[in-house]
Structure 1
Amino acid sequence: MNVFVATIGTRGDVQPYIALAEGLHRAGHAVTVCTSTRYASLVTERGLSYGRLSDDLVALVETPEGRTAIAGAGGEIYGIRALIGLIQRSLKIQRDLQSDGWAAAQEANPDVIVYHPKMAIALHYAERLGIPAVLAPLFPIFLPTGAYPNPGFPRFQFGRRLTAAYNRATHRLVLAVVSAASRWLYASWRKAHGLPAQPRSTDIAHRRSGAQVPFLNAWSRHVAPDPPDWPSSGVATTGYWFLDRPRDWTPPAALKAFLAAGPLPVYVGFGSMAGRDPERTTSIVLDALRRAGLRGVLASGWGGIAAGELPESVYLLGQVPHDWLFPRVAAVVHHGGAGTTAAGLRAGRTTVICPFFGDQPFWGRRVHEAGAGPAPIPQKNLTAERLAAALREATGSLEIRQSAAALGEKIQREDGVANAVAFIERTAVRPAPQAT
């Protein structure tokens, strides 16, 4: 079988799909991973074929305007204005990406397409090629449920029936808005490639025929179980897809020496979520570690950190594989991205999530409700006092440490990639031709 895997975004949006592609390759399938150019070597060094996408969209998000938009996505006016401007600037880039992806898909000539929701255009490639497609989200989206609201929406308790109705309404609203935007964004591409317009009744999770696209959920049911009102077929929650370090990777000698020089440190990293004021974030983190009496390993990704300014109890970290580092720390503190959350939980470490927006508050709640960490601290409420209290709870509570360790053992027993490969093999049946 020839599989085309399409994804775009930050490293957290790409690594799980490379892990899936590796699993497919081991199972004897030919695989092309289509993603932005900055990740080309990450794909090819794993022995996989690479499909080119321009890096312009990811680079745009990393501009000062893009970071302001991300920082303000929680609702601040300056951030909302920046977000609108970012969308406007991205439209031409989006159209170029559609062409890039289509060229890569034609060259790959796949039998099935597996795609990240950010690459929803891949569903249209599949329709043009007459092949099946599988939607592979990293968090619960596009499947309405009464169990909880769509990630990004606040939770309310109105009584059981009214709460369930509110929760379903948030999912349907997101589905309607994203589907309308998708129909508009991809209409010209469909017309140019001989496909009829999508009916208004069609959403992002259904083909033009009305058939639901199979869902391949890349998370653990031990962290986010399937709600009882989800479809009984065509949906698989497989377990996480981990891309572990290369076998020949070795840690920096300075990091090994730091880890050996004292008690287990706390890892702190906010990934690509730089925030509006990274210097302030750094100051809060350092103050919180001092108040809690803990050593720290700080990822340098959000900026605002200079190694010469750090106390001896803190190590400034570059790129280090989480599967090596996290078993060697006392707790992990991060923004709540799906991949970092998964890595920390698999290591059996208590987790403190300080979310910005999107699915991050959802994972913060799930970790807390699973007993694997303190209540999340939204970035807009982050202070040294609050973070220090959370660190003391995360490292000092025997109950939390035991819950995190037990959850880690369950996740380690899952084989999410193998489960996903089996689902794709069962699902890769060509759709019946439809009248135009």
Structure 2
Amino acid sequence: MRVLILTFGTRGDVEPFAALAQRLTAAGHTAVLAAPEPYRETVAADVDFEPMATEMDRVMRAGMTRLRGPAHALTLAREMAQGMRVSLQEQWQIAQQVQPTVIVGHPKALGGLHVAERLGLPFVASLPLPFLTPTSAFPVPFLSRQLPGSLNRISYDFNRFTALAYGGMINRFRRETLGLSRMSRRTDYLTTREGAAVPVLYPFSRHVVPVPADYPSSAHVTGYWFGESARGWEPPRDLAEFLGGDRPVIYLGFGSMAFGGRAEDRGRLVREALDEVGARAVVSTGWGALTIEPNEYIHPVDEVPHDWLFSRVDAVVHHSGSGTTAAGLRAGKPTLVCPVLGDQPFWGRRVHELGVGPRPLPLPRATSNALAARLAELLSNATYAASASTLSAQLASEDGPDAAIRVLEQIELQAGRHHGR
């Protein structure tokens, strides 16, 4: 196979696809990962990388810190739209260069389905949360509460938002660049123009989100796609020494959640809570999510590979992005989730329901006293550690990339038969 992988977003939207590309290459296939330039370093040396959506990535990172109201949001939306137009052209150019036999695309990349149609290739959608496929088991993960079964399914009409919001841009791309007819602005991203179901790869574990009984055969829950990003990584001496202390140490970080520019306020919240509970912490500043000064008990870091760091701490505290959540569960660590937006409350509920950590504490409403209380519970409740260890063993029994590769091989084979190849 020649697999072109198109993805965009934060680190949790890119690293699983880099891991899949690495395993495809190891299995003797050709894999090309197209993602923003800053993620080139996440790709193994034997995997081809093509920069794509780099301008969108720049706008997104800058917007995280300056977004403070409707005016800023409107400006950000205009800038992102321009970046999206450029990204669509990049995806078409890369596809012509690569000449893939299968295209795998994150929905945020926008162009994969249409480029695959133009080239007459199978397209496979993929993202690390159960967002695309309607089910009565739970609502679309962006909703914060459970609904009756029928309403749960209806909530997945949210997936039509992309076509409604960007349908004009997408149809211009289809018509002017690809020479295709327009698509309905009511599309749900899961059906081709011929009416066939679009296959979906879900790189999360059935031990974390049980596979709904009403999922169709086109939805494949494979298990997590973990890479080997920390292989050969050496920590700075001061970090290694800090981790060698004799008091419990936690990881704490909120990733890219820098909305509103309240980094100093979040740093103060974290410092006061850590002081109250008497724990040490490696604190990740992320994309400007928080600012904090080092002291005897606080060690700020910029970016440290999660698979290296999480195995060396006693517990993890984070916003529950899908990638960070997966890394913490893989490491078998008790977890406190402080969600901000999007699918983060969904993952926070799953962590709590699995018995791996306390009730989530929404970051926008957190106080130092509330955070300190949750931290104390996280470190003192032995059942969280036991449940986390059990879950980690279950995740270790899965080989998500291998399962995904077998699905892709079957899809390519069926496409070849259909076209008489």
- Scaled by the length of structure 1, the TM-score of the pair is 0.91
Which residue does 2:250 correspond to in 1? 266
Deviation at 1:132, TM superposition (A): 0.3
Secondary structure of the 1:188 match is helix
**Partner residue in 1 for 2:24:** 24
Q: Which moved more, 1:318-327 or 1:106-115?
A: 318-327
Q: CA deviation at 1:211?
A: 0.8
Residue type of the alignment partner of 1:82: H
Identity %: 39
Question: Contact 1:7–1:14 (CA<8 Å) still a contact in 2?
Answer: yes
Aligned match of 1:160: none
Map 1:174-189; keep pairs closer than 5 Å. Answer: 174-189=158-173
Q: Is 1:150 the equivalent of 2:140?
A: yes
> Cα offset for 1:80?
4.7
**Among candidates 85, 92, 97, match of residue 107 of structure 1:** 97
Counterpart for residue 59 of structure 1: 58
Counterpart Cα distance in 2 of 1:115 and 1:54 = 13
How far the C-alpha of 1:412 sits from its partner, in A, is: 1.5
CA distance in 2, matches of 1:167, 1:306: 39
Measured after TM superposition, the shift of residue 220 of structure 1 is 0.7
CA drift of 1:355 comes to: 0.9
Shift of 1:81: 4.6
Deviations 1:28-75 (A, max 9, x none): 0011111111222433x4311122214111111122x44344xxxxxx
Equivalent residue letter for 2:382: L
CA distance in 1, matches of 2:391, 2:377: 18
Cα distance in structure 2, aligned partners of 1:51 and 1:305: 31
Structure 1, 176-185 or 361-370: larger mean CA deviation:
176-185
Pick from 358, 368, 375: which aligns with 1:391? 375
Aligned amino acid, residue 146 of structure 1: S
Work out the CA distance in 2 between the residues paired with 1:371 and 1:268.
Answer: 19
Aligned residue for 1:285? 270
* Aligned counterpart, 2:196: 211
Report how far residue 214 of structure 1 moved: 0.3
**Matches of 1:142 and 1:248, distance apart in 2:** 36
The answer for the alignment partner of 2:386 in structure 1 is: 402
Aligned CA distance change for structure 1 residues 312 and 359 (closer, same or farther; 3 Å) = same
Question: Is 1:222 the counterpart of 2:212 in the alignment?
Answer: no
Distance 1:68 1:358 in 2: 19
Code of the residue aligned with 2:266 in structure 1: it is T
Q: Give the match for residue 13 of structure 1.
A: 13
3-state DSSP of counterpart to 1:100: helix
Q: Deviations over 1:232-256 (max 9, x none)?
A: x111111111122353221222111
Q: Is the 8 A contact 1:266 1:329 kept in 2?
A: yes
Judging changes above 3 Å, is the alpha-carbon distance between structure 1 residues 200 and 245 closer, same or farther for their aligned structure 2 residues?
A: closer
Aligned Cα root-mean-square deviation (Å): 1.8
Q: CA deviation at 1:187?
A: 0.3
**Paired residues of 2:164 and 2:186 also in contact (CA < 8 A):** no
1:215 maps to amino acid: V
What letter is aligned with 1:5?
A: I
In 2: Cα distance, 1:215 partner to 1:322 partner: 26
SS of aligned partner of 1:62: helix
User: Do the aligned partners of 1:51 and 1:101 also contact (CA within 8 Å) in 2?
Assistant: no
Instruction: Name the residue aligned to 1:47.
Output: 46
Report the residue type matching 2:374 in the other structure: A
1:166 maps to amino acid: L
The number of residue pairs the alignment matches comes to 415
Which residue, out of 348, 351, 361, partners 2:345? 361
> Which of 161, 176, 196 is 2:181 aligned to?
196
Q: Name the CA shift for 1:41/1:100 in 2 (closer, same or farther; >3 Å).
A: same
The answer to whether the 8 A contact 1:66-1:86 is kept is: no
Q: Judging changes above 3 Å, is the alpha-carbon distance between structure 1 residues 47 and 368 closer, same or farther for their aligned structure 2 residues?
A: same
Relative to structure 1, the CA distance from residue 302 to residue 183 in structure 2 (aligned partners, 3 Å threshold; closer, same or farther) is closer
2:284 matched residue in structure 1: 299
Cα deviation, residue 262, structure 1: 1.8
Q: Which moved more, 1:268-277 or 1:199-208?
A: 199-208
CA distance 1:156–1:328, change in 2 (3 Å): same
Find out whether 1:413 has 2:387 as its counterpart.
Answer: no
Query: Cα gap change, 1:377/1:110 in structure 2, threshold over 3 Å: closer, same or farther?
Result: same
Report the secondary structure of 2:94's partner residue: helix
C-alpha contact (below 8 Å) 2:88/2:110 kept by paired residues: no
Output the CA distance in 2 between the equivalents of 1:66 and 1:259: 30
State the TM-score, normalized to the length of structure 2: 0.94
- Structure 1: any 5+ residue segments left out of the alignment? 70-77, 158-162
Aligned to 1:171: 156
